[in-house]
């Protein structure tokens, strides 16, 4: 078994296949834009002496600049800054998967 297959599920795309740019709108062919929305600040219990910390709750989605179509929203409570990039890529992937365009 390949090393890559150990860490990926069967339906997961290989890392080089993941596009970092959203495709044109599936409805009108317009230019897509990525939007980030700050939802709230949430107190997360971590245990230990201080008991918790404040974490940002963020949302990312892709929308069309021409017809205003919006893709699925990705919402998470960020525990580390690298999650922002993961969320952005997930929102782009979900936009690109709309209407079975894969």
pLDDT tens per residue across span 34-56:
999 988 776 666 666 666 667 78
Helices (H), 8-101: 83-96
Using the structure block, give the residue that is written with the tokens 């409805």.
27
In this prediction, residue 2 carries a pLDDT of 44
Place of tokens 């922002």: 84
1 occurs within a structural domain? no
Give the pLDDT band of residue 7 (cuts 50, 70, 90). Answer: very low
Of 81 and 48, the one with more pLDDT = 81
Residue 2 located in a structural domain: no
Q: What percent of the chain has pLDDT over 90?
A: 39
Residue 45 falls within a domain, yes or no?
Answer: yes
Structural domain span for residue 55: 20-100
- Asked, for residue 26, whether it belongs to a domain, the answer is yes
Distance CA 61, CA 68 (A): 12
Asked whether residue 15 is domain-assigned, the answer is no
Tell me whether residue 76 is in a domain.
Answer: yes
């Amino acid at each position: 078994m390949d090393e890559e297959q150990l860490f990926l599920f069967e339906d997961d795309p290989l890392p080089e296949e993941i596009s970092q740019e959203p495709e044109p709108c599936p409805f009108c062919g317009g230019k897509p834009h990525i939007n980030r929305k700050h939802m709230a600040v949430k107190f997360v219990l971590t245990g230990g002496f201080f008991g918790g910390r404040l974490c940002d709750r963020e949302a990312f989605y892709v929308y069309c600049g021409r017809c205003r179509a919006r893709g699925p929203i990705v919402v998470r409570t960020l525990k580390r800054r690298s999650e922002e990039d993961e969320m952005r890529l997930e929102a782009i992937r979900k936009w690109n998967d709309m209407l079975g365009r894969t």
